[in-house]
C-alpha cells in the first residue's frame, strides 16, 4: 500500500494506483478529457494536471503513480489558469457545424469543462470554416465530424481495447494530425463492425449515431436487457413520444459495461415495426372447435392463457399418441442462458426426448 497526501488529506491506496484513480475513489473530481476508467491512460489532453510538491512543472494525474510521501494539490490558481489555456487551445480547432446531435449536448465533455472554467474564446481565434467534411464516412450507423475531434484517442483505444477491431488510428503530425480508419479508408473497408464503441467513448460529438440525428432529446431513459442473445447485455433505451430514439451504453451494466455489439446498439427499430406481433395468435379452428381446413385456416389473436393451454394440449397429444421422439424442441439464441437450460430440461424430462437444439445463428 502507498500513503500520500491529496489536498491535505492522507490517503492509503494500492501500489500502482494513479493519482487520478485515487482521487476518483475518494470523491475528488479532477477534470479529464482523454482519460476514461475503461481505457489505458493516455496523458494527451493535459486537463488533469495537478501540482506535486517538489516537482518543477504540473503533472498529468492520469499517468502519475501515487508515491509514498507524495503531496498533491488538485485545485490552485495556477492549475485553473493552465486548464483554461488547454481548453482555449482545443477550442481554436473545434468547429460546430450546427447539426442537432443525437447525444445530450450537456454530455459533451469538452463544452462541459469550457463552461465550468468559464472559458471565453475571442472571435478572431475561433475557426471560421470546417477543415474536414461533415459526415465524412458512409458508415450507415456512425456519424463522423472530425471538426469536433480533439485527438483524445478515446475512440482509438476503445476500438482496440474494448471491441478488439483496431479500426481507428492517428495519421500525420502536428496541426495536420487527425484520426483515420485503417490506412485512411472508410470504416467498413477497415473492417469496422459498427458496434458504436467509438461513439460511446467520444467526449466531444466528433462521432455520433446517424440513426438518432435530429431526433432531439429523450423524455426518459429505461434500462433493459438486450434480447438478441443469451449474454445478457444491458443498456439504456432513450424514449421520446413512446418511441425508442436511440440506445446508450450504461457503465453500470454488470455483464457488458459500456460494450455493445451492432445489434444491441442499433438494432432496435424492430420494436416499432408494423409487422411485429404483440399478442399471441392461434389457428381459428382451435378456438371455435370447427374442423381443420386443408390450409389450417386463419390466424386469430388470443390471450396468453388460451395460447399456452392449446400448446400444452397439442404437445401432450403428440407425445402420448406418437411417442416422445415425435416432438422436437428448438430454442432461441434470443433467450437467456437460463431459459435455454430450462428448455433442455423441458425436452428431456417433461417430453422425454433428446431432440432438442438451439439456433445461435442470428
pLDDT at residue 333 greater than cutoff 80: no
> Mind listing the pLDDT tens digit for each residue in 151-181?
999 999 999 999 999 999 999 999 999 999 9
Assigned domain for 306 exists: no
Total count of residues recorded for the chain = 362
Q: How many structural domains does the chain have?
A: 2
Range 266-279 average pLDDT: 93
Range 329-335 average pLDDT: 84
Residues spanned by the domain of 334? 323-362
Backbone angles phi, psi at 95, to 5 degrees: -120, 125
Coil vs helix vs strand at 283? strand
Assigned domain for 265 exists: no
Assigned domain for 194 exists: no
Residue that is last in its domain, among 75, 99, 115: 75
Residue that is last in its domain, among 30, 49, 75: 75
> Which stretch of DSSP H or E encloses residue 321?
helix 304-322
Assigned domain for 245 exists: no
Assigned domain for 184 exists: no
Helix axes 109-116, 77-91, angle to 10 degrees: 130
pLDDT at residue 336 greater than cutoff 50: yes
d(CA 10, CA 4): 6
> pLDDT band at residue 362, thresholds of 50, 70 and 90?
very low
This prediction has a pTM of: 0.87
Which of 7-16, 152-161, 327-336 is least confident? Answer: 327-336
Supply the CATH number for residue 16's domain. Answer: 3.10.20.740
Q: Which residues pair with 234 in a beta bridge?
A: 225
Assigned domain for 36 exists: yes
> pLDDT band at residue 360, thresholds of 50, 70 and 90?
low
> Mind listing the pLDDT tens digit for each residue in 173-210?
999 999 999 999 999 999 999 999 999 999 999 999 99
E-strand ranges in the chain read 2-6, 9-13, 49-52, 59-60, 71-73, 142-144, 168-171, 178-181, 207-209, 220-225, 234-240, 243-249, 281-283, 299-301, 329-332, 356-359
Residue that is last in its domain, among 51, 75, 99: 75
Distances (CA, A) of 151 to 90, 195, 203, 232, 258: 9, 21, 10, 33, 21
Assigned domain for 360 exists: yes
> pLDDT band at residue 361, thresholds of 50, 70 and 90?
low
Assigned domain for 34 exists: yes
Amino acid at each position: 500500500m502507498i500513503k500520500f497526501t491529496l489536498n491535505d488529506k492522507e490517503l492509503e491506496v494500492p501500489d500502482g494506483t494513479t493519482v487520478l484513480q485515487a482521487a476518483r475513489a475518494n470523491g475528488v473530481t479532477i477534470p479529464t478529457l482523454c482519460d476514461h476508467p475503461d481505457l489505458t491512460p493516455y496523458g494527451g489532453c493535459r486537463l488533469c494536471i495537478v501540482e506535486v510538491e517538489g516537482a518543477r512543472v504540473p503533472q498529468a494525474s492520469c499517468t502519475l503513480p501515487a508515491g509514498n510521501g507524495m503531496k498533491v494539490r488538485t485545485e490552485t490558481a495556477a492549475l485553473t489558469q493552465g486548464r483554461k489555456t488547454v481548453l482555449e487551445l482545443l477550442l481554436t480547432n473545434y468547429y460546430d457545424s450546427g447539426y442537432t446531435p443525437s447525444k445530450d449536448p450537456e454530455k459533451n465533455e469538452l463544452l462541459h469543462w469550457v463552461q465550468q472554467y468559464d472559458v471565453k474564446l475571442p472571435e478572431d481565434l475561433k475557426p471560421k470554416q470546417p477543415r474536414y467534411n461533415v459526415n465524412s464516412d458512409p458508415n450507415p450507423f456512425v456519424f463522423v465530424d472530425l471538426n469536433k475531434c480533439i485527438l483524445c484517442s478515446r475512440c482509438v483505444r476503445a476500438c482496440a481495447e474494448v471491441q478488439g477491431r483496431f479500426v481507428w488510428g492517428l495519421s500525420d503530425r502536428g496541426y495536420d494530425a487527425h484520426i483515420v480508419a485503417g490506412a485512411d479508408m472508410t470504416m467498413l473497408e477497415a473492417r469496422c463492425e459498427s458496434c458504436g464503441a467509438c461513439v460511446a467513448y467520444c467526449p466531444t460529438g466528433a462521432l455520433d449515431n446517424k440513426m438518432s440525428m435530429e431526433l432531439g432529446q429523450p423524455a426518459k431513459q429505461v434500462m433493459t436487457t438486450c434480447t438478441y442473445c443469451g449474454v445478457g447485455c444491458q443498456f439504456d433505451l432513450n424514449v421520446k413520444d413512446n418511441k425508442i430514439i436511440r440506445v446508450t451504453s450504461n457503465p453500470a451494466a454488470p455483464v457488458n459495461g459500456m460494450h455493445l455489439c451492432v445489434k444491441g446498439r442499433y438494432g432496435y427499430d424492430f420494436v416499432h415495426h408494423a409487422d411485429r406481433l404483440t399478442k399471441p395468435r392461434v389457428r381459428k379452428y382451435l378456438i371455435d372447435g370447427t374442423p381443420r381446413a386443408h390450409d389450417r385456416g386463419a390466424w386469430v389473436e388470443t390471450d396468453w392463457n388460451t395460447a399456452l393451454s392449446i400448446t400444452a394440449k397439442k404437445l401432450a397429444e403428440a407425445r402420448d399418441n406418437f411417442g416422445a421422439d415425435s416432438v422436437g424442441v428448438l430454442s432461441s439464441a434470443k433467450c437467456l442462458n437460463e431459459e435455454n437450460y430450462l428448455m433442455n430440461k423441458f425436452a428431456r424430462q417433461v417430453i422425454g426426448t433428446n431432440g432438442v437444439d438451439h439456433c445461435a445463428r442470428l
